[in-house]
Amino acid sequence: MYATDYVKAADVADAAAKLAAADDGKLLAGGQTLLPTLKQRLASPDKLIDLAGCGLSSISKSGDAIKIGAMTCHADVANHKDVAAANPGLASLAGGIGDRQVRNCGTIGGSVANNDPAACYPAAVLALGGTIHTSKRDIAAEDFFVGMFETALDEDEIITAVTLPTPQKSAYIKFPNPASRYAMVGVFVAQFADGVRVAVTGAGEDGVFRASDIEAALTAKFDAASLDGMTMSEDGLMGDIHASPAYRAHLIVEMARRAVAAC
């Protein structure tokens, strides 16, 4: 790890000011991605600005949506009664991330900001058509996830919360990478009155994406059998030592089928 300064921000405005003042500052949330990166000397920020004291940890339900503060850890989302009732797919997604330690440190803001192509949250945020609230503006999920590890965030922009509309039904099924247990393929299925939205993580070369053929089939009939015989193109899918694009394509349909069955 390279030497770096650690500071704690008092609130979002203070964090933004500190970030702007630093040469190469980095926001620190749960540290579950950032700290290993630092330890491996893959990043050398001059300043770490900790968001822990900014009052960003909260979960609130308002009518047809749930708003989750950026610093809310995965365990809190997984264990929250309102989340479990309104959006069981989201609760089980959060409860399936990493292990206990990771879930008690890692945050939704950190996960979404990092946009790891194998991370779970982006699938929920995109499938639910969520909104990312930042220190500067509100960004629709559709516009937020730009590519692998890339988002629409400006360098000095801070996620404050994420709002996720409540679907009629939802489920998230992850096929874990056997080694890392991140998503090798993760599919979030959300049924809304006006149609079904399906987002896929772990598989796309550009990160999370919506599976339109699956959405169409499920919108026509919300039944796992609607996906029988469906095949996905392997174009644009990742291939690595754990899974080829063809296998990932197969798993997407299979995990979607299981997600529908779990709804």
Ligand X SMILES: Cc1cc2nc3c(=O)[nH]c(=O)nc-3n(C[C@H](O)[C@H](O)[C@H](O)COP(=O)(O)OP(=O)(O)OC[C@H]3O[C@@H](n4cnc5c(N)ncnc54)[C@H](O)[C@@H]3O)c2cc1C
Residues within the interface to another protein (CB under 8 A) = 1-3, 40-41, 175, 177-180, 182, 241-244, 247, 250-251, 254
Helix (H) or strand (E) holding 199: strand 195-201
69 binds ligand X (CB under 6 A): no
Contact 99, 75 (CB under 8 A): no
Which of residues 179 and 193 has its CB atom nearest to another protein in the complex?
179
Minimum gap (Å) between residue 56 Cβ and another protein: 28
Query: Does residue 106 touch ligand X according to CB under 6 A?
Result: yes
Q: How far is the CB of 10 from ligand X (least distance, A)?
A: 15
Find the binder of ligand X among 72, 76, 80, 109 (CB under 6 A): 109
In the complex, the smallest distance separating the C-beta of residue 189 from another protein, rounded to whole angstroms, is 17
- Interface pick for ligand X out of 78, 86, 121, 259 (rule CB under 6 A): 121
Q: Which of 16, 56, 33 is nearest to 114 (CA)?
A: 33
Among 72, 87, 107, 226, binds ligand X (CB under 6 A): 107
Task: Considering only the stretches 77-85, 105-113, 140-148, 232-240, report the one whose residues sit in contact with ligand X under the rule CB under 6 A.
Answer: 105-113
CA atoms within 13 A of residue 62's CA, in its CB half-sphere: 8
| Minimum CB distance to another protein, residue 30 (Å) | 18
The letter for the amino acid at 21 is: A
Q: Is 4 exposed, middle or buried (0-12, 13-18, 19+ CB in 10 A)?
A: middle
Nearer to ligand X, 102 or 246 (CB): 102
| H runs (alpha helix) in the chain | 12-21, 34-39, 74-79, 81-86, 88-95, 100-105, 108-114, 121-127, 141-144, 212-220, 245-262
In whole angstroms, the minimum distance from the beta carbon of 241 to another protein comes to 5
How far apart CA 72 and CA 118 sit, in angstroms, is: 20
DSSP string covering 146-198, please?
EETTEES--TT--EEEEEEEPPSEEEEEEEE-TTT-SEEEEEEEEEETTEEEE
Which stretches of the chain bind ligand X, using CB under 6 A? 26-34, 51, 70, 97-98, 102, 105-107, 109-111, 113-114, 116, 119-121, 153, 158-159, 181-182
